[in-house]
Amino acid sequence: MERTARGRRMYNVRMRTVPRLSKALIAAGGAMACWAAADGPWRWSGSNGAGAVTLLLVGDINVQQRAEPAAVFVHVRETLQRADLVYGNLEGLLVKSEGPDQDIPDKSGWQHVGPEEIQALQAGHIQAVGVANNVAYGRENILRSLAVLDAHGIAHTGGGANLEEAHQPAIVERHGVRFGFLQYTAKWYVEDHQIATATAPGVARLKSQDGVTIDPSDLSRMREDIRRLRPLVDVVVVSSHNRDGLTGRESAPAADDRPARPQDLFAPITLGPRFSQAEPYEKVLAHAAIDAGADVVYGHGSHVLQGVEVYLGKPILYSVGNFAMDWIRMRPNKEGMAVRVVVRGKSVQRVSFVPLTRDAETQNVVMLDPSAGEGARLLDKVKSLSGDTPLHVDGQEVVLVEKK
């Protein structure tokens, strides 16, 4: 069964239709040097002629406590809307917050983003998201959040009413090219509040107890998910929320055992150098995914950039950092990247990226020229973490994979 929306088809287990987005947004001016103009698209290079289909992959999306949620994308609005498809990690549940000391007891200061974030997703042309991450907390809250996505025609993967649903892909078709997405989390707090089981709602996990190996049953399940998806689509994207040294518990401790830290509710978190180092299990995951049939593998949740790799001719980006991030405690950590995947003849031809930051005053997303200023600094960081992986600047983007 198919349902179409103005000539575009979208498929997944829930058979959603993605609506065409309204362009009635107000662009703000005043872009600084090396920033994309508020009302202009990014100047991509290469492989963008007739017949090319473009996918943008981004990291953590957390938009909250804004009078106008859509404003977060004012500098990148045209870039996002010109892509045929945008996918990212939904870093927050679309349910009402009970307060920064209540929503996730193990994460001081965290607040659910609320259903208002839908306005930002729509303004940003974000039509598919992954929901498997550490801030998907509370089984009923997870279901309520998925219902909001369903009501607004946004495809999702990584969560569901049970284990089988949580492992279902999101499949979206654009201009005759079918994209399939799978997402997992290696980080969570309390398993019986967050991880899907055969009979309980939650998200899909990939457990690494030691940061080196992956639970064999979880790894086998991921491989099987990819093998089932592969014949259904042209491009398979596997996305993972990084562990960053955190091993979740099976159940929550008694309330009296959890110390109250009111001083942490709004204190900024500064992430040290270890967060920029991919853990060994991340390579195990990425290589296994590509061996099973994935075309692109990327990680998020570390809130900083990590290295990149090309394995068997296919791109791996171990952490693409933040995209839109309004959580007050994460404000010091602004780095990220937008990844552009160009598809021709139903296969990936070019993968490139552009560094990102956020405006210090407004926290709005900003793209950076990789050959100058802060953009060049972030590119140097990625290069230093990527071994001998060749990277070169072409215009205003950094090329990771290009097939002749």
Q: How distant, in Å, are the alpha carbons of 17, 114, 179, 185, 344 from that of 282?
A: 33, 31, 23, 11, 29
pLDDT in tens, 237-255: 999 999 988 767 777 654 5
Residue 258, exposed/middle/buried by CB under 10 A (0-12, 13-18, 19+)?
A: exposed
pLDDT at 36 over 50: no
Q: So what's the pLDDT on residue 262?
A: 63
Residue 338, exposed/middle/buried by CB under 10 A (0-12, 13-18, 19+)?
A: buried
Percent of the chain whose predicted confidence (pLDDT) is above 90: 81
Structural domain count of the chain: 1
Q: So what's the pLDDT on residue 5?
A: 34
In this structure, are residues 113 and 62 in contact, taking their beta carbons and an 8 Å threshold? yes
Give the DSSP H/E element, type plus range, for residue 132. none
Q: Which spans in 321-361 are helix H?
A: none
Percent of the chain whose predicted confidence (pLDDT) is above 70: 86
pLDDT in tens, 337-383: 999 999 999 999 999 999 999 999 999 999 999 999 999 999 999 99
Give the C-alpha separation, 346 to 353, whole Å: 20
Cβ contacts of 402 within 8 Å, gap of 6 or more: 46, 47, 349, 350, 351, 352
Q: Is residue 381 part of a domain?
A: yes
Q: Is residue 8 part of a domain?
A: no
Average pLDDT of every residue of the chain:
89
Q: So what's the pLDDT on residue 11?
A: 40
Residue 105, exposed/middle/buried by CB under 10 A (0-12, 13-18, 19+)?
A: middle
* Residue ranges making up the domain that contains 200: 53-145+156-402
Q: Is residue 227 part of a domain?
A: yes
Q: Is residue 36 part of a domain?
A: no
pLDDT-derived band at 35, boundaries 50, 70, 90? very low
Q: So what's the pLDDT on residue 28?
A: 35
Q: Is residue 210 part of a domain?
A: yes
Q: So what's the pLDDT on residue 48?
A: 66
pLDDT in tens, 197-227: 999 999 999 999 999 999 999 999 999 999 9
pLDDT at 39 over 70: no
Q: So what's the pLDDT on residue 63?
A: 98
pLDDT at 167 over 80: yes
pLDDT-derived band at 111, boundaries 50, 70, 90? very high
- Span of 17-31, 136-150, 230-244 with lowest mean pLDDT: 17-31
Across-strand partners of 173? Answer: 178
Helices H / strands E in the chain, number of each: 8, 20
Give the C-alpha separation, 89 to 194, whole Å: 16
Average pLDDT over residues 124-139: 98
Average pLDDT over residues 157-182: 98
Average pLDDT over residues 261-278: 86
- Span of 1-15, 177-191, 341-355 with lowest mean pLDDT: 1-15
pLDDT at 16 over 50: no
CATH number (domain holding residue 287): 3.60.21.10
Q: Is residue 140 part of a domain?
A: yes
- Check residues 251 and 53 and name the one with the higher pLDDT: 53
Q: Is residue 397 part of a domain?
A: yes
For residue 151, the tally of other CB atoms under 10 A from its CB is 12
Q: Is residue 5 part of a domain?
A: no
In this structure, are residues 323 and 92 in contact, taking their beta carbons and an 8 Å threshold? no
pLDDT in tens, 89-109: 999 999 999 999 899 998 989
pLDDT at 15 over 80: no
pLDDT at 22 over 50: no
